[in-house]
Chain A
Amino acid sequence: MKRAFPIFAVFTAVLLSYAMYEALVAAPTEKTMGDVQRIFYYHVPSAWTAFLLFFINFVASVVYLIRRNPIADAIAVVTAEVGVVFCTVVLVTGPLWARPVWGIWWTWDVRLTSTLVLWLIYVSYLMLRRFSSSGQTPVLAAALAVFGALDVPLVYFSIWIFRTQHPQPVIGGGGSIDPRMLRVLLINWAAFLCFAALVCWSRYRLERLQREVEETQALEALLEPRGSR
């Protein structure tokens, strides 16, 4: 297992470089938006990756609530953190794309706004994890994750209703996509998925190590009440 990590890391780095080349050079230039449209190849895969990670967080949280399995809890915190990182990328690249194309930094675009709310929900999840006392954190966080997940369709729907009542420009464009662009998009998504897997793996190892240390410290405190410090 230990040997696999560096090999996978190198593979991912190569794939990411290739994907970036494809996005910046090889992919055809978009007719109306020009080169700026290439942000799309980073913006969309980051969004899909974030959503996938949050979905895994939801599943892990439900598993934790049912079985109280500590590994499920570890997976939950890992996917939430890495998900927030990718979500941040989406929220930064979105406006950077919108500004040159439509002249405004932000619109009530359904996808971008839903992503913002998702980001807020998961940041609040991470805050809860940080601020609650360690005995009850996993259960409370899992409950919050379930609430967050249930909220997602409501968020999307409410913003969609708002937009149909107050139409505004759509970031990210709709409609069909040129197959050459689709290919570059999928390559970038594959690359970012591998990257996400690497980061999650590292974060997971860190989490396990941290829990072992905490358990050892707790055990020590129990065995030596006077403290040897």
Chain B
Amino acid sequence: MSIASGLTRATLAKDLRLEWRSKDAINSMLFFALLVVVVFSFSFDPNAEESRQIAGGLVWVAFLFAAVVALNQTWARELRNQVLDAYRVSPAPANSLFLAKALGNFIFVAVLEALMTPLFIMFYKLRALGPAWQLIPVAALGTWALVVNGTFFAAMSLRTRSREIMLPLLLFPISIPALLAMVNATTAILTGELSARVWIVLLASYDVVFTTSCLLLFETVLHAE
């Protein structure tokens, strides 16, 4: 297991280094984050009282967009350099590759979320009326739910036609329970009206089920030809 985790760390480190070096990618993602928040602010009036009710949904839809863009990017780079074939031939367990990719994506999307959140708070004058600390497990579990399936489906869509549209097409339906949980948990915490606990439990179950499935099936999907 130590070889595998060593591999995971190495791959992850490599991915993070690459992202950090390609300043273009980071700059464009920063700008993208800002744009998303601004567009949403124009579309959904932040001054209305209903803001607090819908903010939960808005924020997560914005995060979903960011996640899809990030996910499409990360595999595209691998494809360009035919790194995928190298992975297939190597004796490394496919799980290490998957975990590294998923963790890398998670960090990437988490950074985007960290950038967008203060902007949303500012534009929508958000304040958590419920237990604000709960937002952290919600964000973490929710982001992982999107990223773990997203990484898996991105790998599945690699050789398909219309690759970029294929990822959201596959990801969105399966993610609906997780999305429902994320949005309702966030709304519950922001409005303080209901308990987010049951949604957090649902998110945790979702994460466990799908992380396990991804780890079990990734090897099969990688060698699917």
Contacts and interface: CB of A to CB of B under 8 A. Distances in A.
Contact flag (A, B; Cβ within 8 A): yes
B166 A143 contact: no
Nearest to A120: B173
Interface stretch (B85-93, B98-106, B213-221): B213-221
A127 B168 CA distance: 12
Most buried by B among A140, A148, A150, A165: A140
B2 interface: no
B24 interface: no
B221 A117 contact: no
A161 B197 CA distance: 11
B186 to A, nearest CB: 14
B89 to A, nearest CB: 17
Contact of B213 (A121, A146, A158): A146
Interface in B147-188: 149, 156, 159-162, 166, 169-170, 172-174, 176-178, 180-181, 184
B156 A128 contact: yes
Given A136-B159, A150-B210, A158-B202, A127 B180 contact: no
B210 A135 contact: no
Interface residues of B, number: 32
**Interface of chain B: mostly helix, strand, loop or mixed:** helix
A65 interface: yes
Interface in A116-162: 117, 120-121, 123-124, 127-128, 131-133, 135-136, 139-140, 143-144, 146-148, 150-151, 154-155, 157-159, 161-162
Interface of A: 65, 117, 120-121, 123-124, 127-128, 131-133, 135-136, 139-140, 143-144, 146-148, 150-151, 154-155, 157-159, 161-162, 165
Interface of B: 149, 156, 159-162, 166, 169-170, 172-174, 176-178, 180-181, 184, 194, 198-199, 202, 205-206, 209-210, 213, 217, 220-221, 224-225
